[in-house]
Chains A and B, each alone.
Chain A
Amino acid sequence: MKTFKKTMLGAACAMALSAGSQAALAEDTIKVGILHSLSGTMAISETTLKDTMLMLIDEQNAKGGLLGKKLEAVVVDPASNWPLFAEKARELVSKEKVDAVFGCWTSVSRKSVLPVFEETNSLLFYPVQYEGEESSKNVFYTGAAPNQQAVPAVDYLMNQGVERWVLAGTDYVYPRTTNKILEAYLKAKGVAPEDIMVNYTPFGHSDWQSIVSDIKKFGSTGKKTAVVSTINGDANVPFYKELGSQGVAASDIPVVAFSVGEEELSGIDTGPLVGHLAAWNYFMSVDSEANDEFIEAWQKHVKNEDRVTNDPMEAHYLGFNMWVEAVKKAGTTDPTAVQESIIGVAVPNLTGGYATMMPNHHITKPVLIGEIQDDGQFEVVWNTSGTVAGDAWSDYLEGSKDLISDWRAPLSCGNYNVKTAKCSGQNF
């Protein structure tokens, strides 16, 4: 018993000490929270983003830090578990007292942490493309909204003469909402309902035989057909493999994907996929000086010359740089001050242009369409001439087309209805 007491005492001392040293550290560093899954299903995508953030923070520190202080990264692991995201977010904000959080992947995780950030009035930078229909005072959406990815991709295919559409997606909120927007958009453009086929599959679906065969049949009526894919994560590999083995070539039925990037392709033999498309706001193959530097720095950071870069990484790059600029502008890391100062901040992006934070907390981005090459890279075949501003509320959906979001005073509202001239009062 005596020894037990001694150990307890020792432990208590150690804890007090470490808490003390943490407090001491906290005074001369600015803490940045990183909320990405390092284990579980989503680790496949999110680990890379954690490394990207660490690299950006290192680089900023090498440049002398921020406001004369060093940046300190606080990494937590929400383990692909949605409720745990909220718990870990609270830990970052309340216990670690971070000044901004970069993280989340999938809308479910974002919706789960949203109340935490709104309650504690802290900042989240969300780096992945999403379905829109949300604008929170505390969240900055640095990934693409549907009008920065899905709609331009469909426009491109229409110009290529596509008349029949397969909207294939995984069964959850992002594909369902995106497809709803696309269906409304296609019908507005005069596509007949029988020329649209919608198909949903469960997460991680692995047997695509009959679906691919159905797509083949759907595309055999003589009208040019394309597949718009919001299939997520692991289900993509067997889907593309099945396309390859059933001989569906991109020149017959092209597939344009919104969730397949360089990282996902690095796990597939891309030979049979050459010519299928993806729409993003950044590709690793883009020829620009900023991009070359970024790739070099990244490969040096992870000590691997084969590692690829992708779109959500650029989103973090933009979000982080915007936050840094906003903090410099405000002269403080106080979330309320940063929320005000970040609107209108413009930073160079990796494709040779500028990204600006809009009053609706979305950013401006160029839209690029790329074709898969056999080395696992994308070749840009089309791009918008300038950048497109992200639209929080889709113009093609009933109930959201009258809404706008503007977080500047005096409006300060995420969902202002221009018809009734009212803010619904909801925070998101």
Chain B
Amino acid sequence: MMTFSIRHIFRYLLSCLFLVSVLISSPVMAADDSQSLQEVSQLLIDGDFDEKSRALSRLAETSHPRTSEILQLLSDSQLYYHKKEKQLYIITEYDKGKVAKDLAGNEQVITKKRDYKKVTLNNKMRGVINRIKAELGLNADNPQQREAAVRDLLKDITPDTVTTLKARFFIEESKKVREMINIALAINDLKSSDDVLLSNAIEQLDGSLEQESRSALMTFVSTTESPQLKKQAQIVLKGIEDKVQYYGWLETFYFGLSLGSVLVLAGIGLAITFGVMGVINMAHGELIMIGAYTTYVIQLLMPDHIEWSILVAIPAAFVVSGLVGIGIERGVIRFLYGRPLETLLATFGISLILQQAVRSVFSPLNRSVETPDWMSGLIQINPVFSLTLSRLYIILFCLIVFVALLLVLKKTALGLQVRAVSQNRAMARAMGIRSNRVDALTFGLGSGVAGIAGVALSQLTNVGPNMGQAYIIDSFMVVVFGGVGNLWGTLVAGLSLGVANKVLEPWAGAVLAKVLMLIFIILFIQKRPRGLFPQRGRAAEG
């Protein structure tokens, strides 16, 4: 062990010496710098993808001071070149009249967009860029950045990386980063033939969830000749795989919850219109679609504040969809109360009309709704388990909408009237409740909630004229399964259907999982026609 570290110190000293020599000779380098930059930019402009990758590697090898800047520009696709001048330009906004800056900092105005062409990348080049960035990132100030850099280097450990990592290990202060470097070195040691080194390396990898550790161990188990080491590695591998499986179950549960909350969001508006009022509203999906299109329009109206657009879109979608809902109720449905078949056909017709209207107004193509920055990304809990942020927000949002709706129905005057009318219309009217007005408002409330669901769905799926159709069956499924007229039923039904679907999906496949769910619900409804939480009382009997 001792000799090991002395070798390291020696390497470290050597690299320090090298650094010092570079610093001393820097005035001479300056001239070279601009020359090498010139060469690199020529390659970036004229070269094919292989030449471009080589140019970038060379830039990094010469440790050119502007390396990281140029790499960043490339990956943000802000590096352009002038077709005739053959010179690189930095363009942050690619439009007529905007500024193009060359690498020396001279600015000029873009007179013709077609004069400039972007320096294009392919996946191989992106790989090279990521690798160089990771190597540079090793010296970052932020320990998290350093840890990520080591993790990136795990993908391909070369003798060079081992040297740099070892050098870094001795000046590294953060325990986490040292741990990560140890894993990297252990993975490398698995290739050696020294039994003690191998045994130590296997021990080091115990409990490491990085996929590179797993694949390194797997290759080791299948190639090693020593039965003792093989057994040790197998035990470690088994431990890791148990952990991975455990997190796999957690992940499935999370996916189920998030699918369930989408189902609840889509169904909860219907739980009011269908559940409380008894109207079979086939246009429910289109009300969701209107909510999603409202989000799109809001984003068009406030292009500079995309991050807040979702928050504005929620009330806006509620109002727009709610008004459309009230319009449908006053215009069509109120003439058809008590005639469910006609209501079904009429609302189906309305759904087709709304779809075609959207197609005519917005074009039949899908519209792109942007995801604000605070909603994208993921929380990485460990290498095999992470929570996607957008899904997390949607689960939270679903719960908030649910609680709010529950409060409206239980605590407000409107809620009281709604419940009264739905329980016994004639009696409620006798007590002086204007049942017409209540009907319109209830339908508006249900439609408005559908609109809110549309805002959430616009973050997950297509915003197009057909999006409503995808959710109408699911919505009815959730409401019927949960028990008509019961919000709690909708919540429990949605979440449990979501989780059940996700548990079934891995072994049954997406198509069969859906079929199985539907068969289950049909059988369940045969046994308990009123759903999970049936409404009790005299009104329910009628």
| Given contacts A201-B510, A206-B460, A213-B255, A246 and B378 within 8 Å (CB-CB) | yes
A406 interface residue, CB < 8 Å from B? no
B49 interface residue, CB < 8 Å from A? yes
B364 interface residue, CB < 8 Å from A? yes
Residue of A nearest to B117 (CB): A287
B255 and A44 contacting across the interface, CB-CB below 8 Å: no
What 1/0 flags go to A245-287 for Cβ under 8 Å of B? 1110111001000000001101111001011000000000000
B462 and A237 contacting across the interface, CB-CB below 8 Å: yes
Distance (whole angstroms) from the CB of B22 to the closest CB of chain A = 30
Chain B hits for A237, CB < 8 A: 366, 461-462
Residue of A nearest to B514 (CB): A202
Return the contact of B123 from the options A38, A199, A251 (Cβ within 8 A): A251
Return the contact of B466 from the options A41, A160, A220, A244 (Cβ within 8 A): A41
Return the contact of A220 from the options B122, B130, B211, B386 (Cβ within 8 A): B211
B356 and A39 contacting across the interface, CB-CB below 8 Å: yes
A294 interface residue, CB < 8 Å from B? no
A131 interface residue, CB < 8 Å from B? no
B252 interface residue, CB < 8 Å from A? yes
Which of A22-30, A337-345, A371-379 sits within the interface? A371-379
Chain B hits for A207, CB < 8 A: 255, 259, 262
| Given contacts A237-B462, A238-B462, A245 and B389 within 8 Å (CB-CB) | yes
Residue of A nearest to B510 (CB): A201
B366 and A267 contacting across the interface, CB-CB below 8 Å: yes
A47 interface residue, CB < 8 Å from B? yes
B82 interface residue, CB < 8 Å from A? no
B334 interface residue, CB < 8 Å from A? no
A39 and B359 contacting across the interface, CB-CB below 8 Å: yes
B219 interface residue, CB < 8 Å from A? yes
B258 interface residue, CB < 8 Å from A? yes
| Given contacts A44-B364, A246-B378, A211 and B510 within 8 Å (CB-CB) | yes
A371 and B365 contacting across the interface, CB-CB below 8 Å: no
CA distance A204 to B215 in the complex (A): 35
A245 and B391 contacting across the interface, CB-CB below 8 Å: yes
Please provide the chain A residues from 357 to 401 with a CB less than 8 Å away from any CB of chain B in the complex. Answer: 371, 373-374, 379, 381
Classify the interface of chain B: helix, strand, loop or mixed. Answer: helix
Which of B59-67, B189-197, B367-375 sits within the interface? B367-375
A87 interface residue, CB < 8 Å from B? no
B218 interface residue, CB < 8 Å from A? yes
A263 and B378 contacting across the interface, CB-CB below 8 Å: no
Chain B hits for A267, CB < 8 A: 365-368, 462-464
A290 interface residue, CB < 8 Å from B? no
B378 and A247 contacting across the interface, CB-CB below 8 Å: yes
What 1/0 flags go to B355-385 for Cβ under 8 Å of A? 0100100011111111100001110000000
Chain A hits for B77, CB < 8 A: 274, 373-374
The bracket for how many chain A residues form the interface is: 35 or more
Chain B hits for A41, CB < 8 A: 466
Please provide the chain B residues from 452 to 480 with a CB less than 8 Å away from any CB of chain A in the complex. Answer: 460-467, 469-470
| Given contacts A209-B259, A209-B391, A241-B460, A47 and B215 within 8 Å (CB-CB) | no
CA distance A110 to B463 in the complex (A): 28
Return the contact of A214 from the options B118, B377, B378, B506 (Cβ within 8 A): B506
B212 interface residue, CB < 8 Å from A? yes
What 1/0 flags go to B180-219 for Cβ under 8 Å of A? 0000000000000000000000000000000110111011
| Given contacts A222-B212, A237-B366, A263-B365, A244 and B120 within 8 Å (CB-CB) | no
What 1/0 flags go to B237-264 for Cβ under 8 Å of A? 0000000000000011001001100100
| Given contacts A245-B389, A267-B366, A371 and B123 within 8 Å (CB-CB) | yes
A43 and B370 contacting across the interface, CB-CB below 8 Å: no
| Given contacts A39-B359, A251-B123, A275-B122, A234 and B370 within 8 Å (CB-CB) | no
Distance (whole angstroms) from the CB of B459 to the closest CB of chain A = 8
CA distance A274 to B465 in the complex (A): 26
CA distance A244 to B373 in the complex (A): 13
Return the contact of B464 from the options A160, A201, A214, A234 (Cβ within 8 A): A234
Chain A hits for B514, CB < 8 A: 202
CA distance A222 to B511 in the complex (A): 29
A3 interface residue, CB < 8 Å from B? no
Distance (whole angstroms) from the CB of A279 to the closest CB of chain B = 15
CA distance A274 to B75 in the complex (A): 10
Return the contact of A238 from the options B219, B377, B460 (Cβ within 8 A): B460
B470 and A204 contacting across the interface, CB-CB below 8 Å: yes
CA distance A145 to B467 in the complex (A): 30
CA distance A193 to B365 in the complex (A): 39
What 1/0 flags go to A290-311 for Cβ under 8 Å of B? 0000000000000000000000
CA distance A244 to B390 in the complex (A): 11
Residue of B nearest to A268 (CB): B368
Residue of A nearest to B462 (CB): A237
Residue of A nearest to B369 (CB): A269
Please provide the chain B residues from 422 to 473 with a CB less than 8 Å away from any CB of chain A in the complex. Answer: 460-467, 469-470
CA distance A275 to B126 in the complex (A): 8
CA distance A297 to B252 in the complex (A): 51
Distance (whole angstroms) from the CB of B225 to the closest CB of chain A = 21
B502 interface residue, CB < 8 Å from A? yes
What 1/0 flags go to A197-239 for Cβ under 8 Å of B? 0011110111101110110000011100000000000100110
For the complex of A and B, 9 pairs with smallest distance between CB atoms: A267-B366, A222-B215, A220-B211, A43-B364, A209-B255, A238-B461, A201-B510, A245-B388, A237-B462
* Given pairs A44-B465, A220-B215, 7 additional interface contacts (CB within 8 A): A41-B466, A210-B506, A221-B218, A234-B462, A245-B377, A249-B126, A381-B49
B residues sitting closer than 8 Å to A (CB atoms) are 49, 77, 118, 120-124, 126-127, 130, 211-212, 214-216, 218-219, 251-252, 255, 258-259, 262, 356, 359, 363-371, 376-378, 386, 388-391, 460-467, 469-470, 502, 505-506, 509-511, 514
9 CB < 8 A contacts A-B: A41-B466, A201-B511, A204-B470, A237-B461, A247-B378, A263-B365, A264-B366, A275-B123, A371-B123
A residues sitting closer than 8 Å to B (CB atoms) are 38-39, 41, 43-44, 47, 160, 171, 199-202, 204-207, 209-211, 213-214, 220-222, 234, 237-238, 241, 244-247, 249-251, 254, 263-264, 266-269, 272, 274-275, 371, 373-374, 379, 381
